[in-house]
Amino acid sequence: MRSTHWNLIFFGSSLFYLFSLAYRPYPMDFLLKALPIFWLMLLVLRNATSNKYLLLLALAFSATGDIFLALPIKNSFELGLGAFLLAQIIYACNFWRFRHWQGWKLWPLLAVGLFAVLMLWQLLPKLDAMRLPVLAYMLVICSMASMAVMANRHGHWLLIGATSFLISDALLAWNLFIQPFPYSAYAVMLTYYAAQYCLVNGALKVAPMASGPDTNATR
């Protein structure tokens, strides 16, 4: 099956879940939520890049986080947050391997820092018992986004993916801790699926450049 077909299946399953949000909860909805991520895992398996297994691990933790967040169980948010924290750590370690400095990257790195400051300014008074877990996750996802910026080379897949992930998690946090807003689930999931798709495609594009010593990497 060609990559185009895998892409179409990913987009189709993502749209199907988005349309199904109006009917949640329904039996096994957590599997439908994670299905697009499983398709991305199959797409990664078809590639022989050096970072394939790290990508699979990051996606596996992401799918686990999706499932936890969708299950009506005790501490589902904490479990989902923990799974996504591990996914972000693995993404960050993966992107660090392909880091490459260019002057223009200073601006998106500063934007990531500004994002962190603004989100913490809004969230800290509202977090209460969730302060430490959310702070830890904020640190990790901003580190992932920074490493994605540093690794970005071919097009802007990683830059777009990191930005989409930050937006998705910001929307989720705003809806949970600050002020619920209409159609939040649609906004969160749309940006989340876009983020995962862009991060995976960007990571697959930079990985072949690491087959030998990377003379451009920052030491």
pLDDT in tens, 94-108: 999 888 888 889 999
What is the average pLDDT score of the chain? 90
Instruction: Taking residues 25-32, report their average pLDDT.
Output: 93
Does residue 208 surpass a pLDDT of 70?
A: no
Q: What angle do CA 160, 63, 9 make, to 5 degrees?
A: 70
- The residue among 101, 98, 64 whose CA lies nearest residue 83 is 64
Q: Which tens digit of pLDDT belongs to each residue from 164-202?
A: 999 999 999 999 999 999 999 999 999 999 999 999 999
Instruction: Taking residues 44-54, report their average pLDDT.
Output: 83
Rounded Cα distance between 119 and 178, Å, is 11
Domain locations along the chain: 3-210
Query: What is the reported pLDDT for 186?
Result: 98
